[in-house]
Amino acid sequence: MTKTSRKITKEELAKKIGAENLALVLDNVYCAECGPTAMVEYEEGIIIESSGDTILHGKCKKCGHKVARLLETGEEK
């Protein structure tokens, strides 16, 4: 995490992108170990970067390997 990034809660992210979209994002993650999967244990790893983009860090639901998902939520400049 950089000095200009900050952590947010699951509720803040759901408000930002919508609860339905959050569910879609969490159910569509790629794991290097087992391929398409879902993300779990991500609540402590939701970061908003200085660009406004969101990065979720969590674990693969199938094998527990670390996974991440980038959401381009920043505004275009």
List b or e across 32-71, with b for residues whose CB sees 16 or more CB atoms inside 10 angstroms. eeeeebbbeebeebbbbbeeeebbbbbbbbeeeeebebeb
In this prediction the pTM is: 0.82
Residue 76, pLDDT above cutoff 70: no
CA 69 – CA 21 distance, rounded (Å): 13
| pLDDT tens sequence across 5-64 | 999 999 999 999 999 999 999 999 999 999 999 999 998 899 999 999 999 999 999 999
The structural domains of the chain, with segments of one domain joined by +, span: 6-71
- Token pair 């879609």 in the structure block, residue: 24
